[in-house]
Structure 1
Amino acid sequence: MEKNQPHSHALRRGRVSLPRQAYLITTCTHQRLPLLNSWSPARCVVREMQSLENDGWVSSLSYVIMPDHLHWLFMLDQAQLDAVVKRLKGRSARAINAYLNRRGSVWQQGYHDRALRREEDVRSIARYIVANPLRAGLVNDIGKYPLWDAMWL
């Protein structure tokens, strides 16, 4: 277990995969390195999220890619939650390492997930997700931050 995620084992307790359930996942880069702070490495993550959607595993609702982590809101379709995250992290890590001409871990072990309750307003959660760059002070206008999307646009 990594020092930066001392409780990653606790995140797995009670994790379930329900079809047509909305999930919000958050996953961080290894040692919170800002590996996603430029366009091309971040687009490696976007391409993998799109691939998961194209293959019928998820329906993406919203995401934001920050320099050292990802927030992704999606509906689970024909896959298990752990399989979705494993494929996302594995394939994007290979692509990022190839692009950056580096070796080693890209993502921290584990991830945080939250199944949304039916009564929760998915759009307000999506707005909260895409506003992360504003709250982090990366931009003053979300339109100037290129690494987010929401299905309602």
Structure 2
Amino acid sequence: MTYDALRRGRASLPGHAYHITIATAGRKPIFTDMTCARLAIDTLRQSDDAQRGKTIAWALMPDHLHWLLTLGETVSLARIVHRFKGRSARRINRHLKRSGTLWQRAYHDHTIREDEDLKSTARYIVANPLRAGLVERIGDYPHWDAAWI
């Protein structure tokens, strides 16, 4: 089965924005470890550096990632997520001196349609630590960023 076939109806439209949610295997709170969190964030940034897409906003929670990105011209949505998951898992597993699955196999994606507000979606993403009760002010949470809000 190809990664594009994981969910019927999934589309990869270059230039379109997507809200991706990726959870850790068993919802383990891997990213309470600061080094694990920084490795995942660095891998996320490398995806932009390789021009596979353009990250608009993200929030790395203890057991999942919310990622808002605009898809590049040369790679499918499934491929960009697969690369992120594989590369981040290898780096984090090496740090933890372990092997095995880091991320759940599937992920959730939502295409941001023309009538939806990209800025509202970005604000929703970066406010996740507040809603989860992890901090009282978003500025106190270390694992998020946004190009603009």
TM-score of the pair, normalised by structure 2: 0.93
- Partner letter of residue 55 of structure 1? A
SS at the partner of 1:36? Answer: helix
What is the aligned counterpart of 1:130 among 119, 123, 126? 126
- Unpaired runs of 5+ residues, structure 2, are none
Cα deviation digits, residues 81-128 of structure 1 (max 9, x gap): 010010000000000111111111100111000101012111111001
* Partner secondary structure for residue 104 of structure 1: coil
Q: CA RMSD in A?
A: 1.3
- Please say which of residues 114-123 and 66-75 is displaced more in the overlay: 114-123
Instruction: Return structure 1 stretches of 4+ with deviation > 6 angstroms.
Output: none
Q: Is it true that 1:67 corresponds to 2:62 in the alignment?
A: yes
Aligned to 2:147: 151
> Aligned runs of 1:1-153 on 2, under 5 Å?
12-77=7-72, 78-152=74-148
How much does 1:38 deviate?
Answer: 2.3
Q: CA deviation at 1:31?
A: 0.3
Q: Give the direction of change, closer, same or farther, for the CA distance of 1:11–1:126 in structure 2 (3 Å limit).
A: farther
Q: Once the two structures are aligned, what percentage of the paired residues are identical?
A: 50
Q: Tell me the alpha carbon deviations over residues 33-53 of structure 1, each in whole angstroms, 9 at most, x when there is no partner.
A: 001112210111111111111
Q: CA deviation at 1:11?
A: 6.5
Question: Which string of whole-angstrom CA distances, capped at 9 and with x for unpartnered residues, describes residues 71-90 of structure 1?
Answer: 00000003100100100000
